[in-house]
Structure 1
Amino acid sequence: MSNTSNLLERNTEDVLAGVLERTDNDLVVVDPSAQVVRALIDIAADRDGDLPTLDVVADERLLKDVMDDFLVAADAADLVDAGDLTLRNLDEDADNTILVGEDELYALVTAGDYVAALAADDDSFIADAHETYREVWADADQFNLRTPALSRVRETLSDEISDEVRADFDGVLQSLEAARGDGDGLDEVTISLLVAAKNDVLLYDISKWGEDAGIASKATFSRTKTRLEDMGLIDTEKVPIDVGRPRLRLKLGDDRLRGADAGELASVAQSMLN
């Protein structure tokens, strides 16, 4: 009989951390909720490889919604690049969110103020389930994760723009719980432009970096700059060049932003956007 046992915790993160601490083998994670996907990525990113490989098979629309948050998607991309995570599209819903390895199987259940990982204890059932869901994962299409890895974003920002801009970019990200462009928060393009403006960087330079790094196209950077300029968050000044039209240097457009450090920049900008 399997020696796994049930886990009961106050939140999803704690119960998943408990499961991962017990597991030596790779895990197939079947039909997770958005909360489970985010929690798994947060836990895996914090552990820096000290976890089993997580092979996630989830609803494609759910994955797209979760990955609209740059903070989550960039961490996920790092994990994918390191071979610690795979993301694939599930064609049909399972009855429960399941985490299954060679020697263990847990079903996640929420009840009231608690989250439980209910463990199966029959070895043959676990083996059959592992074979079944490993085949489901193998047959599933890979999820198209378009966000670049956060490590690449940070490295290229330092190399191509400056260490100061990278430090401010990190400071803004650390102050955020989410970075998405759905009206609920600042997206990665807005954050990049704000920290560029804080450091008097040329629009051409930050938009070229953003396109090369896979953040967004130059056109998206230009449109976002225009929106922020219209709302008073960013100013520009023309910088003559030897050949062609002058380029635009980005400046912060409001004293509240100019007086904010990197950790405060996001909250001040968000209050102005709202």
Structure 2
Amino acid sequence: MTANLLERSTPDILRALLDRTAGDLVIVDPNADVMESLVDIAADYGDDLPTLNVLADGRLLKDVMDDFLVAADAADLVDAGHMTLRELETEADNTLVVGGDDLYALVSAGEHVAALAADDEEFVADAYETYRGRWEEAEAFNLRTPALSRVRSTLDEDIGEAVRADFDSVLDSLETARGDGDGLDEVTISLLVAAKNDVLLYDISKWGEDVGIASKATFSRTKTRLEDMGLIDTEKVPIDVGRPRLRLKLGDDRLREADGDELASVAYRMLN
């Protein structure tokens, strides 16, 4: 008989579910905590990860994927075929994890999270058929963020290994990358690590547009804002034909003295 599970946190309960299930799973109507935790755990799970077919509210997916750290990991999972993201038209009564032989409802209470199991085989089979059918009919969610592996590899190839290393250090130091007051967004991070390494604005903005992070215009607007606030300086670099290009430099000693893993926290304090 399938047993109920009880853990201290959402990541713990999801890890326990993934450890005991096989085949593909349909994740129905996850909340933001479940969605973020699912991506985080799946990104590090390894080769035995079941295929995770997520059926979620489109507005919730958009909000969760506004965090570059979550979205870029999710894009890697989608590219690898480990995860699909589709939009749920009507809410379920609970967040459900549905497999061919397993059905769990996730419930939070106090300091614990439970996965309450259904043990009626016919009901579980019917639930899987129902929600698998809803997933197949649902519209795919448009995840615009590029996969983190592609961001890293192209940054290394197009801009340089030192910039990629600083980019990784900044991401590793962050809990979120939204740029909405709770953190730094991916364009700001890219410009800061470029400035730390004296990269041309043209080069980093072209890379960012080519890889799918943001347009050159967005990079330019963000550069102007950071320059106005004293985080970034620029110097003109003459070229053979056309207008001089701008080399990015850090504009404050606090940033220039910061290590890669400190750059984000120093910049965040200056911006807030």
Per the normalisation by structure 2, the TM-score is: 0.99
Which residue of 169, 172, 177 corresponds with 1:171?
A: 169
Mapped contact 1:147–1:215 kept (Cα < 8 A): yes
**1:245 corresponds to:** 243
Matches of 2:190 and 2:34 in 1, distance apart?
Answer: 28
Letter in 2 for 1:61: R
Mapped contact 1:28–1:54 kept (Cα < 8 A): yes
Q: Tell me the matched-pair count.
A: 272
User: Which 4+ stretches in 1 moved above 2 angstroms?
Assistant: none
SS in 1 for 2:263: helix
Letter in 1 for 2:47: G
Quote the offset at 1:222 in angstroms.
0.1
What 5-or-longer segments of structure 2 have no aligned partner? none
Quote the offset at 1:182 in angstroms.
1.3
Matches of 1:17 and 1:160 in 2, distance apart?
Answer: 37
**1:184 corresponds to:** 182
1:62-77 to structure 2, matched below 5 A, reads 62-77=60-75
Quote the offset at 1:100 in angstroms.
0.5
**2:22 corresponds to:** 24
Matches of 2:200 and 2:165 in 1, distance apart?
Answer: 17
Which residue of 141, 145, 149 corresponds with 1:147?
A: 145
What 5-or-longer segments of structure 1 have no aligned partner? none
SS in 1 for 2:187: helix
1:2-151 to structure 2, matched below 5 A, reads 3-151=1-149
Matches of 1:186 and 1:17 in 2, distance apart?
Answer: 29
Matches of 1:48 and 1:231 in 2, distance apart?
Answer: 43
CA deviation map 1:218-271 (0-9, x unaligned): 000000000000000000000000000000000000000000010000000000
**1:232 corresponds to:** 230
CA deviation map 1:200-234 (0-9, x unaligned): 00000000000000000000000000000000000
Per the normalisation by structure 1, the TM-score is: 0.99
Quote the offset at 1:177 in angstroms.
0.3
Quote the offset at 1:52 in angstroms.
0.4
**2:155 corresponds to:** 157
Letter in 2 for 1:33: N
Matches of 1:5 and 1:76 in 2, distance apart?
Answer: 29
Quote the offset at 1:183 in angstroms.
1.8
SS in 1 for 2:44: helix
Matches of 1:50 and 1:71 in 2, distance apart?
Answer: 23
Quote the offset at 1:54 in angstroms.
0.3
Matches of 1:24 and 1:30 in 2, distance apart?
Answer: 17
Mapped contact 1:70–1:147 kept (Cα < 8 A): yes
Mapped contact 1:60–1:90 kept (Cα < 8 A): yes
Matches of 1:223 and 1:158 in 2, distance apart?
Answer: 24
Quote the offset at 1:181 in angstroms.
2.0
**2:204 corresponds to:** 206
Quote the offset at 1:48 in angstroms.
3.1
CA root-mean-square deviation: 0.5
Mapped contact 1:168–1:195 kept (Cα < 8 A): yes
